[in-house]
Amino acid sequence: MAVGKIGNSPQRIGVFVDVQNMFYSAKALHQSKIDYSKLLLEIVGGRNLVRAIAYIVQKPDVDQSSFTDALCRLGYEIKTKDLRLRPDGTAKGDWDMGIAIDTISIASKLDTVVLVTGDGDFVPLVELLKYHGCRVETVSFRRSTAIELINVSTKYTAIEESMLFKEKKFQKNDTAN
């Protein structure tokens, strides 16, 4: 059987991107941002993309409209939710439950679910999807990915430097050395 095919037809894939997880990992590990165009091309390869969804948490003081517009032009659907600020000063804003619901809802129309996250909270989701016959690939930064997520995934792909671009404002000031 050829890679990227199931029988004679192209593999149908869905890509689900935990944008906050990827943003903070790229910034902390590489002082970079992800090139979402290269990322999607690398993930899809010769397969049939059914849906690509980017999950974004919006901060009230940050305008992300140019970023979300760019993702839309690249073929991503955008799902946003506002960061909730608690009275004690802490904040809550993640898409774990939304990503889980979406992947389970669309899994019957896919051969492969691709999770772009390093969050170990997705291990039970991966197990459930695999139990129901779906391949589950995880794409993330190796150093910030839960080993349990790597181990349970059908395939794991580390994000390469070629899928990043350096952001000057993230680079550390080396003049102090």
pTM of this prediction? 0.87
Distances from the Cα of 177 to the Cαs of 28, 38, 115, in angstroms? 20, 34, 39
Q: Each residue of 131-162: pLDDT tens digit?
A: 999 999 999 999 999 999 999 999 999 998 88
Q: Are strands 91-92 and 84-85 parallel, antiparallel or unpaired?
A: antiparallel
Question: Which domains can be identified in the chain, with CATH numbers?
Answer: 11-82+91-168 (3.40.50.1010)
Question: Which of 116, 55, 102 lies closest to 83 in space, CA to CA?
Answer: 55
Cα gap 8→65, rounded to integer Å? 41
DSSP strands (E only) in 59-163: 77-82, 84-85, 91-92, 112-116, 135-140, 155-158
The mean per-residue pLDDT over the stretch 64-91 comes to 90
Please report which confidence band the pLDDT of residue 39 belongs to, taking 50, 70 and 90 as the band edges. very high
Q: Which position has the token pair 């037809």?
A: 9
Question: Which of 5, 27, 21, 8 lies closest to 119 in space, CA to CA?
Answer: 21
Q: Each residue of 96-130: pLDDT tens digit?
A: 999 999 999 999 999 999 999 999 999 999 999 99
Please report which confidence band the pLDDT of residue 93 belongs to, taking 50, 70 and 90 as the band edges. confident
